[in-house]
Amino acid sequence: MKLSSKNSTGKRNFYLPILNELKVSTNLSKIKKKLSISKQQLNYYLRQLKKRGLIIQKGKGWYEIVKGSKNSTVYGILLKPDNVRGHGYIWNIKLQQEIRGWNKRIEILKQKGVNFKLVGILKTTPRIKVLGRKIWLCNNHLRIFDKKDASYYGETAKESRYMALNEIKLIISALNSKLGVSLKPTDITFQKEHYALIKNDLAIEENRRGNIIRISDEYGEWLLIDDSLEQGGELENVGKSAYQTNIPMQKWWNDNKEYKFKVTPSFILKGIGGLLKTQQMNATNIIKHQKVLDEMSETLKQIRDNLK
């Protein structure tokens, strides 16, 4: 899957994909091949990202993500209004039978010199830290809490989720090394995830007015606007269906914005009413025209009879 954002002219750019790939590997040849871009294009984006302070050059052909921007809202400057910020993730990783029961394997953690803290209601679940994430070693799964300030940007929720998955793969790799296990990336499930349309006009206006909007249905809260993010302006989907809800909501918002929110139910009903009226007029005209044709046909018949 290739990710890119678009600039104001609608052309694709690769700022975010390159940043994302640099988290995984500094091999520029692999990045160039994976994104199907030329060496000249890659060098252009690297220069721009370096200029923006998002990467540093460690040597010839060697670039790394700046530590402070690995999961920063600073990525938002590369995206246009109503693109998506994924955040607030909690992941579960299913454990194979042979590596379950970490609450009974605390001695292994001690032997490996892994720092842990017992948490949970009964204080029997070990919690460790890996790559800045808190990880609960539960009986049959691992629960990973992403960092509070971690953000994954994309044009859509699908792209944001893809970036988050790349991050969790790095965490799993570190976990495997730390615990001496073999976790599989295919065993990941999303327990919690939030998606927000950034730089959203409605959210920006409500932030200016100091309003906090929370919308719920029978399943709980699913949409909110607040000013919790520093730059504000986020129309955010939350709850268990945040991912599924954000995708159609983004399309709905962008479609309405393109037509300046003129296509309302009233507009559609009025249009349908006008169309029906036009059809009725056309039907009436057709009947009138047919009557005239019939009369002309009868007149021509009479003329022919008189000429005989």
Q: Give the pLDDT of residue 5.
A: 47
To which residue do tokens 């830290």 refer? 129
Q: Give the pLDDT of residue 136.
A: 93
52 and 175 inside one domain? no
27 and 172 inside one domain? no
Mention every residue, 6+ apart, whose C-beta is less than 8 A from residue 265: none
Measuring CA to CA, which residue among 190, 88, 96 is closest to residue 141?
96
Q: Convert the pLDDT of each residue in 2-12 to its tens digit.
A: 344 454 434 56
The tally of domains found in the chain comes to 2
In the chain, % of residues over pLDDT 70 = 74
Range of the domain at 155: 73-258
234 and 119 inside one domain? yes
Question: Angle CA(28)–CA(84)–CA(19) in degrees, nearest 5?
Answer: 15
CB-CB contact of 238 with 224 (8 Å): yes
Mean pLDDT of 240-244: 92
**Which two tokens mark 57?**
């050059």
Judged by average pLDDT, the poorest of 68-77, 205-214, 235-244 is 68-77
Q: Under DSSP, is residue 155 helix (H, G, I), strand (E, B) or coil? A: coil
Q: Give the pLDDT of residue 264.
A: 61
Verdict on whether the full-model pTM lies above 0.85:
no
Mean pLDDT of 212-233: 85
For residue 278, being part of any structural domain is answered with no
Q: Given pLDDT bands bounded at 50, 70 and 90, which one contains residue 262?
A: confident
Mean pLDDT of 191-216: 91
Q: Given pLDDT bands bounded at 50, 70 and 90, which one contains residue 284?
A: low
14 and 99 inside one domain? no
How far is it, in rounded angstroms, from Cα 25 to Cα 293?
Answer: 79
Could you give the residue ranges of the DSSP H alpha helices within the chain?
15-24, 28-35, 39-51, 106-112, 157-179, 201-209, 242-258, 265-307
To which residue do tokens 């009557």 refer? 291
- 108 pLDDT above the threshold of 90: no
For residue 182, being part of any structural domain is answered with yes
How far is it, in rounded angstroms, from Cα 75 to Cα 229?
Answer: 13
Q: Give the pLDDT of residue 92.
A: 92
| Backbone φ and ψ of 158, nearest 5° | -65, -40
CATH number at residue 40: 1.10.10
Q: Give the pLDDT of residue 52.
A: 80
Q: Convert the pLDDT of each residue in 142-189 to its tens digit.
A: 999 998 888 888 889 998 898 888 888 888 888 888 888 888 777 888
80 and 151 inside one domain? yes
| Backbone φ and ψ of 59, nearest 5° | 180, -175
Please state, in angstroms and as integers, the Cα–Cα distance from residue 238 to each residue in 83, 87, 163, 232, 265, following that order.
16, 10, 18, 16, 27
Q: Give the pLDDT of residue 7.
A: 46
Q: Given pLDDT bands bounded at 50, 70 and 90, which one contains residue 296?
A: low
Decide which of 220, 237, 258 is a domain's last residue: 258
**Which two tokens mark 302?**
């009479």
88 and 229 inside one domain? yes
121 and 97 inside one domain? yes
Mean pLDDT of 118-138: 90
Long-range pairs, 162-165, Cβ under 8 A, ≥24: 162/1, 162/3, 163/3, 163/16, 163/20, 163/86, 164/86, 164/89, 164/193
Mean pLDDT of the chain: 80
In the chain, % of residues over pLDDT 90 = 21
Instruction: Determine how many CB atoms are found less than 10 A away from the CB of residue 128.
Output: 19
Q: Convert the pLDDT of each residue in 41-95 to its tens digit.
A: 999 989 888 888 888 888 888 888 876 555 555 555 667 888 898 999 999 988 8
56 and 99 inside one domain? no
| Backbone φ and ψ of 91, nearest 5° | -110, 150
When mean pLDDT is compared over 11-25, 93-107, 182-196, the highest value belongs to: 182-196
135 burial level (CB within 10 Å; 0-12, 13-18, 19+): buried
